[in-house]
Amino acid sequence: MQTMAGSVFSDVPAHSAEELVTALVTMPGARIERIVSTGQASPPGFWYDQAQAEWVMVLSGSAVLRFADEAEPYRMGPGDYLFISPHRRHRVEQTAPDAPTIWLAVHFGWPA
């Protein structure tokens, strides 16, 4: 296997109209991504409902995530992480508007 190396803090835009999603590693059944948010949030009424599991960590910045089955949101800062089970409806309520939020997301466990 080829060595893959880099920095998740390279080429981070200060602002972008859209989130920047970069696949760092992709292999059968798993994908690791760097996501850069610059104030983005899920559209009103939109919920993610993913077939695979996801583990997400905020490396810098901040975010607020909400699950459809919980009353209180999760406020996340650097070092905070969450495991999201398959088909657990969730949304991003907000990301830091004044500095990039850098996420590390690991997607895994696609159904056979």
CATH of domain 20-108: 2.60.120.10
Place of tokens 């999760």: 74
pTM of the predicted structure, to 2 decimals? 0.90
Q: Is 11 helix (H, G, I), strand (E, B) or coil?
A: coil
Please name the amino acid found at residue 81: Y
Q: What is the CA 72 to chain-centroid distance, rounded?
A: 19
pLDDT digits (tens, 9 = 90+) for 86-108: 999 999 999 999 999 999 999 99
As given in the structure block, the two tokens for residue 46 are 């939109």
Chain position carrying tokens 């939109």: 46
pLDDT tens digits along 19-50: 999 999 999 999 999 999 999 999 999 999 99
Domain extents in the chain = 20-108
